Structure 1
Amino acid sequence: MNNDNALHTVEAQIRQQVAAYCAADNVPGFVAGVHHAGERVVVAHGVANTATGAPMREDTGFLYGSVTKVMTTTLVLRQVERGALDLDAPVVRYLPEFALSVPGAAERILVRHLIAHTNGIDADLYFPDARGHGALKSYVEGLAAGHGVLFEPGEQLSYSNGGMIIAGRLLEAVTGLAFPDLLARDVYAPVGMTGSGTSADQAILRSTAVGHFLDPGTMAARPTGMFTLPDTWGPAGGTPIGTVADLLAFGRTHLDGGVSPTGTRVLSAESTALMRQVAFDMASPNVPPIGLGWVLYPFGDTTVLAMSGASPGGVSLLCVVPEHDLVFAAFGNTPGAILLQDQLLCWLLRERLGIEIPALVTGSESEVDLSPYVGTYRSDQLRIDVSVVDGQLEERMTYEPADASQERIFTEFAGGKTSAPPQRYVPVRPGLFAPAGYPLETFDGYLRLLLVSYHDLRDGRARFRNGGGRLTRRVSG
């Protein structure tokens, strides 16, 4: 892949896989890019918006989603290097107004906990609809009214939108700049992300893709009614928009020890190395170890730094493989495009880099006692009821909105759904379950997140359920 012939082969293979998948699974448009050993390819396919027929181009922008969290973490580390923040200081040192509904809980959360997803804040689906430069201040003010904690800081790992949003407000407090302006000044500009913006107002001036959801009756892709999330979700990925080329440039910055493709040092080598170090490991196949900002996916002996980003009707992915000088970025404009992204990532690792990807889970156990996992689990506005049906676990997931505003935003983000059909799970081993009907090799790559695990057994009952990296806590049963 470090010569023209190899680069041409990669482009042709990706184009073939993308075309076949999009046709079979009704994905209107897809764009992907690979940087390897000084060479780059970008492949675009289909349409960016079925309502207009606008083509998906190599320079088409899209909502970054949670890939933004790595950028937010980069901004935090920049301020640590400048002495404006201390990772091991309490957040309230810089944000005295930060409070939660549990007395004293906020005071125990350190800056480090925010960007390592170990803060325990129970606000993962909290969507206050504030706009403008005061949005993050409004978000923090709203936490005290009804948001507690799932666990003590540092005790567990749970993917945290709230932690990243508070980190964004923390950055505003110590720099005096609104988060969008800081992102543009300290990430976009030095990295050379010339196709990136921080709002829909900027995106409308250029080629931009929108998300789509499949119509349940016809399976035709229909455009989302929501392009970005509220401004309160900016640091977690709700509003930043850009291109695959820009994501490749950002990934290369982390690949090259903090030096961007423009030659500008964005982070120190020490800070980029710190982001790759394991901050917490749940030692469960479905929950990869976490660094600072990055999720550290083990593929055998190779570690892939990764972050995916769900947006209303779309999904992005950024992966960096430091050991092999490779960056992979992609966006598809239906949620199901994550399957194609996983397929392409595994193909690159196996076929282009020669990495052997071992089976993550093998076999299943039929004699596992299911009773420790039965019960009701909750987190912010989410209820999961777990029962035993025909010798398998069955989960029923229901969104329970706190108010009409929360319901409107969530349902638009999720394509109109507030509950999911019951899902059956088969035991892989005690405490680890796979969705029924999937071959186990499905979970060898990024889709290991589809596995479900249960943790912290006390008195014969699991205390937590982990699905997709997020914890819910047992409340009954």
Structure 2
Amino acid sequence: MLHMNDNALHTVEARIREQAAAYCASNNVPGFVAGVYHAGEQVVVAHGTANAATGAPMLEDTGFLFGSVTKVLTTTLVLQQVDRGLLDLDTPVVKHLPDFALTAPGAADKILVRHLISHTNGIDADLFFPDVKGRDALKTYVHRLASSCGALFEPGERLSYSNGGMIVAGRLLEVVTGMSFPDLLERDIYAPVGMKNSGTSAEQAILRSTAIGHFPDPRTMAARPTGMFMLPDTWGPAGGTPIGTIADLLAFGRTHLAGGLSPSGARVLSAESTALMQQVSYDMATPNVPPMGLGWVRYPFGDTTVLAMSGASPGGVSILCVVPEHDLVFAAFGNTPGAIVLHDRILQRLLSERLGVRIPTLISEPEKDVDLTPYVGTYRSDQLRIDVRIVDGQLEERTTYEPADESQERIFTEFAGGMTSAPPQRYVPIRPGLFAPAGYPLETFDGYLRLLLVSYHDVRDGRARFRNGGGRLTRRA
């Protein structure tokens, strides 16, 4: 085991290189890049191929889509405006965005700025993909919410991972600063943090080494390149468009380690706002949904908290983890969706071997004779339907995507690699209201993959009102 005072990261570098090579070979992941900053030292490891179509190698400074890691950048931008007195977290969003509305009359009026960045806003827009380009993309997104998307719950009442909330926050930033979201991101995050190789468009990305995503071919399981590089401009603040390198993400993570001071010493965020982002803003008190800060998700590993956000892009997945009490940042990108398992394994190894953190068992032995009937039924959210029934003493879930129109179907299908409905998934009861996908050893869920667990909430008259999978709520139809 490497002890805290052993600062040489070369052992960590060698182990990540070995781990990445083995996982990528056995799971058909073309390429992987990861970096660790710890106590003043930093390493970056690259492996494999950035683009299977061209054979371009994955390099230490290859760029990749941040995906939802962008949500922490967007939240940082919001808190900057709070520091400057342009925004108040407890102000209704409609004060700044009078045209912000949802299909349920009056629902948007109750949403505060804080609800947007703590995923407690209830906006039912997780798969809402308006295909709009250019400077007015976010304005158009907010305008179309009024006729397309409703509310899942009352603001502040529950927690549900919210792309829509972050996109509305991006539009809010445009209105209060008078700048487009991409320009603001470049001026107020990329520049002061020192994210020298980050951009916000495919036009910028093509000028340097950039990875693309891949999906497993259903017939051969070999990785095939994605047909869509990035999501529409409407998804910029939620993670559709920002691109950068591992070194850039490590610099951003270090800024949050250092109370808002960038590695070059520039003040990016006040110490108070940096701390506020890291504090619990909502806790659902269920193992599959870690407590939420502002922007950050707070993963408990025993007594150690890992501030984290992962980010899916078409055929790729990134992650950024910050461990304040151990002065450590970990960032990674793999160019198939399955690379999230490798992210999780490296994170747990860093915690246990590098930092000496004891990772406790999250899920103990399942309870016997759990009544499954409260969870049976149909649950819905925007363009998504989940049918739940009992089969052989387990729950079986069948998930169906129900596109609102042709454009949404095209974007979602490309984003999902051509799959629009998943095969039925069985779940075994762990205890009332908590279920694990069948066939997985329980230790699978000790780390980041606790998100694979499913929970049901608010049982009334013998029926659950909400299902939570991957941090996202669907409501009983």
TM-score normalised by the chain length of structure 1: 0.99
Partner in structure 2 of residue 248 of structure 1: 250
Match of 1:420 in 2: 422
Q: For residue 434 of structure 1, report the CA deviation from its aligned partner.
A: 0.2
Measure, in 1, the Cα distance between the counterparts of 2:200 and 2:74. Answer: 13
Q: Which residue of 2 aligns with 1:142?
A: 144
Indicate whether 1:472 and 2:468 are aligned.
no
Percent of aligned pairs sharing the same letter: 81
Q: CA offsets, 1:149-176, max 9 Å, x none?
A: 0000001000000000000000000000
Q: Is the CA contact (8 Å cut-off) linking 2:7 and 2:39 kept in structure 1?
A: no
- Quote the Cα distance in structure 2 between the aligned partners of 1:212 and 1:147: 30
Mapped to 1, the partners of 2:193 and 2:208 lie a distance apart of: 20
CA deviation map 1:235-258 (0-9, x unaligned): 000000000000000000000000
User: Residue type matched to 2:447 in 1?
Assistant: G
Partner residue in 1 for 2:294: 292
> CA shift at 1:366, angstroms?
2.8
Tell me the secondary structure at the aligned position of residue 329 of structure 1.
strand
* 1:221 to 2:226 alignment: no
In the alignment, structure 1 residue 28 sits paired with structure 2 residue 30: yes
Match of 1:279 among 265, 278, 281: 281
Structure 1 partner of 2:100 = 98
Aligned twin of 2:116: 114
What is the aligned partner in structure 1 of residue 127 from structure 2? 125
Counterpart secondary structure, 2:36: strand
Secondary structure of 1:293 counterpart: coil
Report the Cα offset of residue 387 of structure 1.
Answer: 0.2
Structure 2 counterpart SS, 1:320:
strand
Deviation at 1:3, TM superposition (A): 7.7
Q: Indicate the SS of the match to 1:455.
A: strand
State whether structure 2 residue 71 is matched by structure 1 residue 69. Answer: yes
Q: Which stretches of structure 1, 4 residues or more, deviate above 2 A after TM superposition?
A: 1-6
Paired position in structure 1 for 2:357: 355
Aligned mates of 2:55, 2:318 — CA distance in 1: 21
Q: Could you tell me how far 1:6 is from its partner in structure 2?
A: 2.9
CA distance in structure 2 between the aligned counterparts of 1:53 and 1:294, rounded to whole angstroms: 35
1:54 to 40, 56, 61: 56
For residues 427-474 of structure 1, what are the alpha-carbon distances to aligned partners after superposition, in whole Å with 9 as ceiling and x for unaligned? 000000000000000000000000000000111100000000000000
Q: Which runs of 5+ in 2 are unaligned?
A: none
1:463 matched residue in structure 2:
465
Number of the residue aligned with 1:443: 445
Q: How does 1:30-429 map to 2 (within 5 A)?
A: 30-429=32-431
**Structure 2 letter corresponding to 1:34:** V
Give distance in 1, aligned partners of 2:351 and 2:9: 15
Following superposition, the deviation at residue 262 of structure 1 comes to 1.2
Q: Does the CA contact (< 8 Å) of 2:7 and 2:41 recur in 1?
A: no
Q: Distance in 2 between matches of 1:56 and 1:407?
A: 31
- How many residues get paired? 475
- Once the two structures are superposed, residues 211-268 of structure 1 have per-residue CA deviations (whole angstroms, 9 ceiling, x without a partner) of 0000011011000000010000000000000000000000000000000011100001
Q: Distance in 2 between matches of 1:4 and 1:396?
A: 49
- SS of the residue corresponding to residue 341 of structure 1 reads helix
Q: How far apart, in 1, do the equivalents of 2:101 and 2:5 lie?
A: 55
Q: Deviations over 1:285-334 (max 9, x none)?
A: 00000000000000000000000000000000000000000000000000
Distance in structure 1 (CA, Å) of the matches to 2:475 and 2:96? 30
The alpha-carbon deviation at position 365 of structure 1 amounts to 1.9
Letter of the aligned partner of 1:419 in structure 2? Answer: S
Tell me the secondary structure at the aligned position of residue 308 of structure 1: strand
Give the Cα separation in 2 of the matches to 1:101 and 1:394.
31
Tell me the SS of whatever aligns to 1:6.
Answer: coil
Equivalent-residue separation in structure 2 for 1:134 and 1:351 (angstroms) = 48
Amino acid at match of 1:294: W
After alignment, is 362-371 or 38-47 more displaced? 362-371
Amino acid at match of 2:408: Q
Residues 39-92 of structure 1: CA deviation (Å, up to 9, x unaligned): 000000000000100000000000000000000000000000111001000000
Q: CA deviation at 1:5?
A: 7.3
